[in-house]
Amino acid sequence: MANPSSLWHTAGRVAQSTGRSLATPSLTSQSTARFSTSAHLCKRKRRATNRDNNPNRGVSSIYRSGPREPLSMSDIPLPRPREFTPKVEVDKDHGLWGFFPRPGTCLMTPEETEKYGRSWTAEELRRKGWEDLHKLWWQCCRERNMLSTSIKELKRSKLGFGQSELEQRDLTVQATMRNIKAVLTERYYTWEDAQAVAAIDPEIDLQAVDGSAYNPGSYVDEFEANEDAWAGNKDALPDAPEFDNPAKEEAKAEKKLQS
């Protein structure tokens, strides 16, 4: 077996013959690092965790907290959305605008919220016809739809005004609708009573189809008999009573005294 020292001397002689040193490695044996100027290889690799050990750093859109470490895209401006407003033609007389104060307006101003009238009384509604009451009823329904939409929007947006005024206004509209129902109920009860009276009246035929439900009897006959008298026919009028003449009575009394 060879001695290690003899092997070292042998290696030294070989190095002297070739001109190389055992202390310095050969330049040809060194491995060079690969270098490229392409964007893919120069891009900084992002580590799994940041320095603060928060993997979700920079993903908050509420607080707008950006990343603490500069990224490869930090200096590149982000694209902005295009300002695009679709042009949609909307009918100004569309029925859905009835849920809002005015077309294109979501809420009323505080001054408009406080301005509203009183409810209709039953005495005023009794003078109205069926068509007027029908229109007023659906106008109240439309008003309640608008008030309900405004109250929902005030609760959602939390503006802090107008909710109590709108609720009081809704109660006023409900009072008008109750009075309308009361007036119509009175008319229905009156119609029922009139039907009950007509059912026992011999001059009224409720089963008539041609429209001659009312058939008057002796009253019409008497009126037709005296129609000529009321028209001014003197022959038909009864004779007027003859009243005594005071002058003739005095003359008769004097003749009796003289005789």
* pLDDT tens for the chain, residues 1 to 259: 555 555 555 655 655 655 555 444 444 445 555 655 655 555 555 555 556 666 665 566 677 666 666 677 777 787 888 888 888 888 888 888 889 888 888 888 888 888 888 999 999 999 999 999 999 999 999 999 999 999 999 989 888 888 889 999 999 999 999 999 999 999 999 999 988 888 888 888 888 777 777 777 655 556 666 665 556 555 545 554 454 566 666 777 777 667 6
Report helix, strand or coil for 48: coil
Rounded Cα distance between 66 and 58, Å, is 5
Residues β-bridged to residue 204: 214
Tokens 């004779």 locate to 239
Report helix, strand or coil for 105: strand
Four-CA torsion 171, 174, 175, 176, nearest 10 degrees = 130
Phi, psi of 4 (to 5 degrees): -60, -35
> Which two three-digit tokens encode residue 37?
């100027």
> Which two three-digit tokens encode residue 177?
């609708």
Extended beta strands in the chain, E state? none
- pTM of the shown model: 0.49
Nearest to 181 by CA among 128, 122, 123, 127: 122
Report helix, strand or coil for 166: helix
Rounded Cα distance between 55 and 47, Å, is 9
Tokens 């392409």 locate to 38
